Amino acid sequence: MMTPRIEIDLKKISHNAQNLRELYAARGIGLFGVTKAVCGNPAVAGALVDAGIDTLADSRVQNIVRMRQAGIEANFVLLRSPGPSQAESVVREADISLNSELSVVDLLSAISTEKHTIHKIILMVELGDLREGLMPTELLRAAERVQRKNGVLLAGIGTNLACFGGVTPGKENIERLSSLACEIEDKFGVKLEYVSGGNSANYDWFTSTEDVGRVNNLRLGESIYLGRETLRRRPIPGLFTDAFKLVAEVIESKVKPSKPYGEICQDAFGNVPKFRDRGPMNRALLGIGLQDVVVKGLTPRLDIEVIGASSDHIIVDAREEELEVGKEIEFELNYGALLSAMTSPYVEKKTIDQPTFNMKNPCPRERNLHGN
């Protein structure tokens, strides 16, 4: 089989998605399945739909197009606030978009009016994390303006935490979101379809809060794919944390010194490296590097140590392992590694959907989609 490749266990992904869907649904919270970490991979999108998630969200219009063209039947949400230059394609490809700039909403309105369609708007509110969002004091006026526009429908409000500023979703900020939703509903006599409380980082809030308030939606990526909440990266009970695995191949294996010798200057990336002399070492080179994956985010499944990487190589201390040339080495991936490997054209995407051991639930309906 080709290396490097990422092996994607669709049954495990579907299992995770279904468990999370049921967990959150028990308290009235629906999910958007976020596909950006898998680059809109159609097979993965199909696994989410099989698990009962009917709305998929991505930050890139291109990924939405990719899923649509592969025949994925779902509602599509654009997660990243669109820029003016994207307005046309957003109206064409997405049913809903998250927005924080009224000038862009005006463009979306003009375009969808011209096309005789309705584009749904979720207004994002800034509640501390300082990435996207209107300031709470601006929200009511913005909501009013969206409501007056043709071609767009105020479908809801949302917030995003724990992304840029690392701000924890908790009682205070989520209650603020709920009360803003109530204010809009009271003032304008509308019912918001979505009060979108956050992402995979909201798990601890959800499992500890007595009252979810008006929150009825979360946008989940990482917890579906990697089976963990994202504040401390603890595994979520009942989920698989190993739905993805990266496989690389040994291309050189030798005993060599542990410390570079000769005059030391900058490495390939402009750093001046420092190494400790640990005597002769079993070293191996793997045929995968920074053009394939964020190497920092990889954890080998063998007892070996990644000691460095260049664009095209990972260098490992093989310790006691026999790493003969041609041997396949498996890694677990964190979010950054997953995102980069799924995006790199050099990493083959291999979907696997054989029955999985230890499945607690009956396997979801089969789907015959093997997009790449």
Ligand X SMILES: *Cc1c(COP(=O)(O)O)cnc(C)c1O
In a 3-state reduction of DSSP, which class is residue 369? coil
Told to check if 338 binds ligand X by CB under 6 A, we report no
Told to check if 16 binds ligand X by CB under 6 A, we report no
One of 93, 222, 292, 353 touching ligand X (CB under 6 A): 222
Token representation of residue 20:
């999370």
Token representation of residue 279:
């005597």
Q: Are the C-beta atoms of residues 333 and 300 closer than 8 Å to each other?
A: no
Tell me the window of 219-227, 272-280, 282-290, 321-329 that interacts with ligand X (CB under 6 A): 219-227
Query: Which helix (H) or strand (E) segment is 286 a member of?
Result: strand 281-286
Closest CA to 336 of 242, 247, 226: 226
One of 121, 220, 236, 347 touching ligand X (CB under 6 A): 220
**Minimal distance in Å, beta carbon 341 to ligand X?**
15
Tell me the window of 45-53, 218-226, 260-268, 305-313 that interacts with ligand X (CB under 6 A): 218-226
Told to check if 99 binds ligand X by CB under 6 A, we report no
Angstrom distance (rounded) from CA 142 to CA 309: 48
Told to check if 41 binds ligand X by CB under 6 A, we report no
One of 221, 227, 297, 371 touching ligand X (CB under 6 A): 221
Angstrom distance (rounded) from CA 347 to CA 329: 14
Angstrom distance (rounded) from CA 309 to CA 290: 7
Angstrom distance (rounded) from CA 274 to CA 289: 20
One of 7, 30, 36, 65 touching ligand X (CB under 6 A): 36
Q: Which of 36, 256, 327, 350 is labelled catalytic? A: 36
If the CB atoms of residues 203 and 331 are measured against ligand X, the closer one turns out to be: 203
Told to check if 79 binds ligand X by CB under 6 A, we report yes
Angstrom distance (rounded) from CA 19 to CA 30: 12
Applying the rule CB under 6 A, the residues between 149 and 208 that interact with ligand X are: 160, 199-200
Q: How many residues of this chain interact with ligand X, rule: CB under 6 A?
A: 15
Angstrom distance (rounded) from CA 211 to CA 284: 53
One of 10, 23, 34, 195 touching ligand X (CB under 6 A): 34
Tell me the window of 170-178, 215-223, 301-309, 321-329 that interacts with ligand X (CB under 6 A): 215-223
Q: Residue-wise over 234-253: b if at least 16 C-beta within 10 A, else e?
A: eebeebbbebbbbbbbbeeb
One of 68, 219, 228, 349 touching ligand X (CB under 6 A): 219
Told to check if 81 binds ligand X by CB under 6 A, we report no
- Is position 36 annotated as part of the catalytic site? yes
According to DSSP H, which parts of the chain are helical?
10-25, 42-50, 61-69, 87-93, 102-114, 136-148, 171-188, 203-208, 222-226, 335-343
**Minimal distance in Å, beta carbon 90 to ligand X?**
15
Token representation of residue 335:
């979010």
Which residues are designated catalytic? 36
Which residues of the shown chain bind ligand X in the complex (CB under 6 A)? 34, 36-37, 59, 79, 98, 160, 199-200, 219-223, 230
